[in-house]
Structure 1
Amino acid sequence: MYTNAITSCLWFDGQAKEAATFYSTVFKSSKITSENPMVVTFELNGTKFMGLNGGPMFKINPSISFFVTCGTLEEVNKIWDKLIDGGKALMAIDTYPWSERYGWLQDKFGVTWQISIANDGEIEQKIKPSMLFTSNQFGKAEAAISFYTSIFGDSTTDLLVLYPDGGDHAGKVMYSEFQLSQHPLIAMDGPGVHEYTFNEGVSLMISCETQAEIDHYWYKLTEGGAESMCGWLKDKFGVSWQVVPSIIGKLMSDPEKGGRAMQAVMKMRKLDIATLLNA
């Protein structure tokens, strides 16, 4: 199996640069790494993100949020106070059975964040994508973890907490932590009524060095799912992925080839490196 970089992609309607700049003031060790009118890439304390100005077609929702673990209560409160400005609380910042200090919010750009004090003594701030399996995907979190870890190299299931026997949600995933190619993620089943499920508002982008890697992820992840255009796909759980060559940024920024490469991408489903290089 291959081991590849995974980046969280946020879909914006023209606000990618504004959002990236804002987040860089919230999280330590953050920076914007590249930008053009369509795409802004940035890092928040070492976690890679991409902001895509895709237009009004898709809206970010809480099905994939970002779980921020902090080493101190002061850090939790500081991040919460910055992110809540112009946004709204989904779960108030408070003490809960699972955390001394926890809150869930939606910021002014629609991105949702779960902010928590670390329970295990860790002091390093960490940001992890967190998948919530709701509606017709409820109860599928454990199967999804097994599916994903079978596709990516250097993958592990680090924690799996199920709802106890005897309850309404027995056997469903209360909380889990897993890694895909050493990238940490969280997955939970979300019981109850939710007005959202996975969509293109938040996707996961896989950067591939070779065509063999692109083919591997494309064919595995589309099993039971659906192909889309421009390297996008939906897996059988409804999660959106982008499978792209690592040279895509360099190609798109090439003054001579960029326009032709973009036209080639627009015509493809699964991206083909040779076609892009020869565009």
Structure 2
Amino acid sequence: MTKKIYPCLWFDNNAQEAADFYCSIFKESKILSANPVVVNFELNGTKFMALNGGPKYKHTPASSYVIECENQDEIDHYWETLGQAGRYDKCGWLADKYGVSWQVVPSILGELMSDPDRAPRVTQAFLKMQKFDIETLLKA
């Protein structure tokens, strides 16, 4: 296969608004093309399509986009900007104002979870969190 796979996000006639919103949040982002039906955009090197599909389908947390963050400032940035007027859940999960689900997680989480002695304590720590706190995870 020579073509990349990328997600298509369904919107109710506000695809351009959503694409502009996401591009305002991610540092390395841009609108690639736009017409009244489809907006193609890129966030940190990942291509997305936003489709003005109408009210038939809604976003669900069953599909989410993971943002691996190198530090607490990055976690705070994405949590606050994507989460404005959205819904928050446990373990770094949030739904933005369009209903799209995101997981804002520290990149160190996989390493912490791969240590069999530490993993149970780290798990107990992050199950109590909504927004991840890296310092608390490191102390667990």
TM-score by length of 1: 0.49
Gaps of 5+ in 2: none
The answer to whether the 8 Å contact 2:15/2:38 transfers is no
Structure in which a larger fraction of residues adopt helix: 2
Q: Give the SS at the match of 1:236.
A: coil
Distance in 2 (alpha carbons) for counterparts of 1:248 and 1:140? 34
Instruction: Tell me the equivalent position of 1:186.
Output: 49
Which blocks of at least 5 consecutive residues in structure 1 are unaligned? 1-27, 29-123, 163-173
**Aligned residue runs from structure 1 range 1-12, under 5 A:** none
| Deviation, structure 1 residue 182 | 1.5
2:39 aligned counterpart, secondary structure? strand
Q: How do 1:20-169 residues align onto structure 2 when only pairs under 5 Å count?
A: 124-133=2-11, 138-162=12-36
Counterpart among 96, 100, 112 of residue 235 in structure 1: 96
Which consecutive segments of 4 or more residues in structure 1 shift more than 2 A? Answer: none
Alignment: residue pair count:
140
Matching residue of 2:83: 222
Amino acid at match of 1:207: E
Matched residue, 1:110:
none
Larger Rg over CA atoms? 1
CA offsets 1:176-210 (integer angstroms, 9 cap, x no match): 2100111111110113x62x310111100000000
Q: Could you say which residue in structure 2 is the equivalent of 1:202?
A: 63
Q: TM-score if structure 2 supplies the norm length?
A: 0.96
Structure 1 letter corresponding to 2:16: E
Between structures 1 and 2, the one with greater strand share: 1
Contact 2:93 2:104 in 1 (8 A): yes
The question of whether the paired residues in 1 share the 8 Å contact of 2:19 and 2:41 is answered with: yes
| RMSD over equivalenced CA pairs, Å | 1.1
Letter paired with 2:45: Q
Cα deviation digits, residues 41-89 of structure 1 (max 9, x gap): xxxxxxxxxxxxxxxxxxxxxxxxxxxxxxxxxxxxxxxxxxxxxxxxx
The whole-number CA distance in structure 1 between the counterparts of 2:116 and 2:4 is 37
Counterparts of 2:15 and 2:50 in 1: how far apart (Å)? 6
2:105 is matched with which residue: 230, 244, 249? 244
State the identity %. Answer: 46
Question: What residue number does 1:258 align with?
Answer: 119
SS for the counterpart of 1:274 is helix
Q: Does 1:270 align with 2:131?
A: yes
Match of 1:115? none
